[in-house]
Amino acid sequence: MTVSRVINNTGRISESTRARVKQVMEELNYVPNSMARSLVKQETKMLSLLITDITNPFYTTLARGAEDTAMRNGYKLLFGNSDEDYAKERDYVDMVLSTRADGVLFAPAGDGSAEHLRMLQRRNVPFVILDREVPGIEADHVLGDSREGARRLVEHLLDLGHTRIAMVGGRQDVSTARLRYAGYLEALKLADIPFDPALVHDVGYTAVEGMAFVDDLLSAEAPPTAVFAANNFLALAVIRALRVRDVRVPDDLSVVCFDDFGESIALDPFLTVARQPAYEFGSLGMQLLIERIQGAAGAAPRKIVLPSELVVRQSSAAPPGVV
Amino acid sequence: MTVSRVINNTGRISESTRARVKQVMEELNYVPNSMARSLVKQETKMLSLLITDITNPFYTTLARGAEDTAMRNGYKLLFGNSDEDYAKERDYVDMVLSTRADGVLFAPAGDGSAEHLRMLQRRNVPFVILDREVPGIEADHVLGDSREGARRLVEHLLDLGHTRIAMVGGRQDVSTARLRYAGYLEALKLADIPFDPALVHDVGYTAVEGMAFVDDLLSAEAPPTAVFAANNFLALAVIRALRVRDVRVPDDLSVVCFDDFGESIALDPFLTVARQPAYEFGSLGMQLLIERIQGAAGAAPRKIVLPSELVVRQSSAAPPGVV
DNA sequence: AAAAAATATGTTACCGATAACCCTAAACTA
DNA sequence: TAGTTTAGGGTTATCGGTAACATATTTTTT
């Protein structure tokens, strides 16, 4: 008990015993057992961040934002990676529940994550949802302006003179994929361009393979002159697929996408993108989470929508034949 | 107790009570408290991975390798990021000790990490050191062939006809930085090129700023025609600094470096690099760690040295004036 | 049918910390 | 001087599991 008082600076301790305790702690390399403490305090000072793709710079940057903010508030952060896979996500939720994290920053794999989020709700584990909304779940959110951003990207292509614009989208059980699709449609509608379903292909956000449809696009009667990819990895996959087929970007075909790549890594940023403030996704989300844990937040769920920024680079240009 | 037996499938339980317990568990959304379990079992099934730069693709790829292997063996993995900072590293070690991780995969910030590793040793926490050796610490290691790889990179430059080759190195309290420097010297020596200390500059591995010395290099009497950077981020920093000064790579100056960038991210890999098998660093390290934890390893420390692969790309070419 | 063995479940103590309460000696008050 | 504070520190119970042992049923053996 006396030791506990010294460690936590609580109660009254004479300077002499305090010193003695500290010295013995030093001698024995004593480190308090945080599990024992958590067991009685019913609080772990551990938070958890679940992302869907640890190789995507959007998420690693987000992770840094979350970690920095957690650290500053005296929390440790546990990372997890669901790989866009509901089964892994479920395992991760089990783990979070059994380790009794004080809260979770949750980037859901998709609409099917509702079940997992409800598990958290039932156990009263506070959480904040990042990046993707999940129908049926009321909670704090930090989101991007997927619809708006998509519209702006497509409008950028329209402004350049494109009229046949293909879209490569994510799985339709992911809210951002739906909204980006909606933004795409909206831009076409506003410009009075007829919608051609043959130009739209949905693959997973990480589907680097499965680019066979590119052949269909290219060999179509009226092939597209531009492609809007719903995220950064899809754009890369498309560009690689085009290169294999000797299609030049942007000379033959323009490509734009959502999400940038890490600035620290890219030497020659090439893609025209809607850049999302990834770091802020993490730091703001963490802030909301900590407020909620500490009871500083009202009952009503809060929703933060972060604007994206249109960054025009070389991958988008006027369609062939147009000056 | 009966519940415990059902959960762990130990002892004898009648099918009827087993079913009853399971049903009630379901109803109550019961999840066992892993802290309580760890407290009595003196085992957490949690491992810890400390890396020095979470934004570097070398480490994130390594992290995946470690995570996959941990997962397959029934362990959870906690990530930490020291930012090449001894103070943060120390905090992290404290955290590891207090959370009672069963073991640690440790990428040390430098020679000063010895103190932290000794803390782990004193508490009998098994660990495996990744990427960098720490003088005075005996332990399992997974390392790259820094010296060898550096020599090959420099020899590649020599083969192209370069004789004035600058080196931008990491902090000299990091073993890989020393070895890469040694490899550089060795290559020069083998080729009978006199060593010019004016061509060598040491900055931190993450020192993206502090590229002022580039001016000195360029304005020198006999400026270098090639630069060997001790890691990927240094190479990027150098190239950026060169661009600002209108020096073209590789036309005016060749640049090569250790460590590749994530293949998934780079659209047009440009740099000539010594690529290290980052994923294997993580997976092999994890394997060593788990063997040690489970007592399957002999007392003697094991040391795995993974070869790097010379990947020649566009950033290296013959010096100006040479065909 | 009594003893032995097997099966199914219950008890107790403990892991290492902390909350809540208790105790002792010195210092202070009336 | 007796009574009351106060400082300093000790005790006990508890968090939620599990090891080790104990008990109560059946089933099997002789």
pLDDT tens digit string along A61-79?
999 999 999 989 999 888 8
Co-location of A18 and A119 in the same domain: no
Do residue A44 and residue B35 have CB atoms under 8 angstroms apart? yes
Nearest protein residue to D18's C1' (by CA)?
A: B40
- Mean pLDDT over A105-127 rounds to 96
Average pLDDT, chain A: 93
Are A20 and A105 part of one and the same domain?
no
Q: Within a 13 Å sphere around the CA of A202, how many CA atoms are in the beta-carbon half? A: 11
**Lowest-confidence range among A118-127, B149-158, B255-264?**
B255-264
Q: Does A316 map to a domain?
A: no
Whether A317 is covered by a domain: the verdict is no
A19 CB inside 7 Å of strand D: no
Instruction: Tell me: do A114 and A177 sit in the same domain.
Output: no
Q: Are both B22 and B103 inside the same structural domain?
A: no
Q: What is the mean pLDDT of residues B189-216?
A: 87
Looking at the fold, whether B300 and B215 belong to one and the same domain comes out as no
Which pLDDT tens digit goes with each residue over A285-308? 999 999 999 988 888 999 999 999
Residue B239 lies in a domain: yes
Are A313 and A239 in contact by the 8 Å Cβ rule? The answer is no
Beta pairing, strands A140-144 & A165-169: unpaired
- Is B40 within the bounds of a domain? no
What is the tens place of the pLDDT at every residue in B119-149? 999 999 999 999 999 999 999 999 999 999 9
Round to whole Å and give the CA distance between A173 and A167.
17
Instruction: For residue B250, say if its preceding peptide bond is cis, omega within 30 degrees of 0.
Output: yes
Cα(A183)–Cα(B148) distance, integer angstroms? 53
Residues of chain B positioned with their CB less than 8 A from the CB of A266: 265-266
Q: Is the CB of B314 under 7 A from strand D?
A: no
- Beta-carbon contacts of B317 under 8 Å, excluding residues fewer than 6 positions away, are B160, B250, B251, B254
Q: Is residue B281 part of a domain?
A: yes
**Residue B269's pLDDT band (boundaries 50, 70, 90)?**
confident
Q: For position A91, what pLDDT does the model report?
A: 87
Q: Rounded to 5 degrees, what angle do the CA atoms B70, B61, A48 make?
A: 60
If residue B61 lies in a helix (H) or strand (E), which one and from where to where? Answer: helix B57-72
C-alpha separations of B147 from B153, B161, B167, B274, B306 in Å: 10, 21, 14, 11, 12
Nearest to A39 among B35, B67, B94 (CB): B35
The set of residues with CB closer than 7 Å to nucleic strand C is: A 1, 3-4, 7-8, 10, 32-33, 36-37, 39-41; B 1-2, 5, 11-14, 16-17, 36, 39-40, 42
Please name the helix (run of DSSP H) or strand (run of DSSP E) that holds residue B3, with its range, or none. Answer: helix B2-8
Alpha helices, DSSP H, located in chain A: 2-8, 15-27, 34-41, 57-72, 86-99, 114-122, 146-160, 175-190, 213-219, 232-244, 278-293
Instruction: Say if residues B70 and B288 touch (Cβ distance below 8 Å).
Output: no
Question: A285: helix, coil or strand?
Answer: helix
pLDDT at B262: 82
Residue A1 has a pLDDT of 87
Which residues of chain A does B207 touch, with a Cβ-Cβ cutoff of 8 Å?
none
Q: Which residue has the tokens 């892993």?
A: B34
pLDDT of residue B211: 83
B76 φ, ψ (degrees, to nearest 5): -95, 155
Q: Amino acid letter at B95? A: M
Q: How far is the CA of A45 from the C1' of C28 (A)?
A: 43
If one counts the domains in chain B, the total is 3
Asked whether residue A68 falls in the same domain as residue A135, the answer is: yes
Could you read off the pLDDT of B98-123 as tens digits, one per residue?
Answer: 889 999 999 999 999 999 999 999 99
For residue A174, what is the DSSP state?
S
Most confident among A150-164, A198-212, B65-79 (mean pLDDT): A150-164
Min distance B195 CA to chain A CA atoms (Å): 31
Q: Assess whether pLDDT exceeds 80 at residue B260.
A: yes
The answer to the question of residue B321 being in a domain is no
The β-bridge relationship of strands B46-51 and B103-106 is parallel
Per-residue pLDDT, A323? 61
How is chain B split among helix, strand and coil, in percent rounded to 5? 45, 15, 40
Are residues A151 and A300 part of one domain? no
Tell me what pLDDT residue B207 has. 63
Q: What would the mean pLDDT of B92-97 be, rounded to a whole number? A: 90
CATH number of the domain to which A245 belongs: 3.40.50.2300
Q: Is B54 within 8 Å of A44 when comparing Cβ atoms?
A: no
Asked whether residue A272 falls in the same domain as residue A174, the answer is: yes
Q: What is the mean pLDDT of residues B82-88?
A: 91
Cβ separation of A97 and B265 shorter than 8 Å?
no
Q: Residue B83 sits in which domain range?
A: 45-144+277-307
Based on the domain organization, do B271 and B258 belong to the same domain? yes
Instruction: Clarify whether residues A226 and A112 are in a common domain.
Output: no
Residue B216 covered by a domain: yes
**Which residue in chain B is spatially nearest to A249 when comparing CA positions?**
B267
Residue A1 approaches strand D within 7 Å at CB: yes
Q: Are residues B121 and B161 in the same domain?
A: no
A124 domain residue, yes or no: yes
Q: Does B96 share its domain with B242?
A: no
Residue B209 has a pLDDT of 66
